[in-house]
Structure formats: structure tokens, C-alpha cells
Amino acid sequence: MDRQMVAFPPKVYDRELYLVGFRLDPEAPKPQFYTLIGSEGEGERPITRQERILFFRKPEDALKALKASDNGFSDMRSAPVELELLCDVSEALYVANQMKEDADGLLFEMIAVFDDLLRAVKLGVPAEYSKVLGAVATRLGESPEFASFLRESGATREKLEDALLWCVGAVAVKSSWV
């Protein structure tokens, strides 16, 4: 037989949850809302309810949100209350519009987090935005400097900003709140 055997028992992955905060308002001193992102083997995905990303307003509500989720993490007994990652949308947009480099990785993190969020709700980014986000993320994976890359590739800061804002809007529409 040339068939591969199915592993039995199936491989059990370590599962972890991370508290991710989001800041939209540059004047806000801390995250304005949160979600949990679960890691299971190779992939990461946010908690969802009815195929919508599940957000909450206070870290103390993480366990409540986890229990309300329906995509495979609700059986975990505890939820983190310490922030693992701040997705600073306002600062990332500033970097995209004004800076020559993403020295703190804010833009790179935003692209990566929103990629996970959009995959979880099965939304495809329009081709014109996907192209610029993918190219900028690839560049930032190699070097924090991206301004010259934008010039050389013919991409504009405006197109990058439009792509990021499309992602924010798409996630907002495909969200649910606890």
C-alpha cells in the first residue's frame, strides 16, 4: 500500500491564548478593546462567535468572552488578563503615512494581526490592497525601512493607508461584542 497512514491517536497540540488589545484613538492611554487569539499548533486565530470576531472592552471580560466563543477555544479553563500584544492602529497609520521606517514594528504587527482576523472570518482582501499589504509585510520582514520600497515599487502611502483602513472596516463589520 502506498497510502499514508493516519496517525493514531491524532497529534495533540499545545494550545495557548493571548490577550491582544487594540487602540484606535491616538489620545487613548490604553487599549480601547480586546480579543483573544489562540495558538494551536502552527496556526493562530481569534476567538469568534457565529463566524464573527469576538471583542470585549475590559481585560477582566476575557473569560466571559472565551466562554461565549464557539470556534474551539471555549473549553479552555482560563483566559489571560495580561496584555500580550497591543495592535496600535493609530500609531501604525501614522507610521504608514509619515515615517521612513517601522522601527518598533507597529505597522508589521498590524498587518499580521489583521491578516489573522480576516482569515478567521473568511474575508478576502481586494487584490489592489492585498498586493500592497503583502509587499509591505514582506519588506518589513526583511528591513524596518519601507519608504524607499514604496517609491521604487510605485506603491503610495495613500494606497497603503486605504488598504489598512479597509482591513479595519472589514473587521469591524464582521465583529461581535461581549
Burial of 77 (0-12, 13-18, 19+ CB in 10 A): exposed
- Residue 13 has a pLDDT of 62
- Residue 7: inside a domain: no
Stretch 140-148: mean pLDDT? 97
- Residue 10: inside a domain: no
CA angle 80, 83, 89 (to 5 degrees): 135
- Residue 73: inside a domain: yes
Prediction pTM value: 0.90
- φ, ψ of residue 13 in degrees (nearest 5): -95, 145
Average pLDDT, rounded, for the chain: 93
Strand order in the sheet with 48-49: 48-49, 52-55, 175-177
- Residue 142: inside a domain: yes
Nearest to 128 by CA among 173, 167, 175, 96: 167
- Residue 41 has a pLDDT of 75
- Residue 4: inside a domain: no
Domain count, the chain: 1
In three-state secondary structure terms, 152 is helix
Count of Cβ atoms closer than 10 Å to residue 113 Cβ: 23
- Residue 151: inside a domain: yes
163-to-38, 75, 96, 105, 132 alpha-carbon distances in Å: 25, 35, 11, 18, 8
Stretch 79-90: mean pLDDT? 96
- Residue 5: inside a domain: no
Domain that holds residue 94: 15-177
- Residue 100: inside a domain: yes
Give per-residue pLDDT as tens, 24-77. Answer: 999 999 999 999 999 987 789 999 999 999 999 999 999 999 999 999 888 888
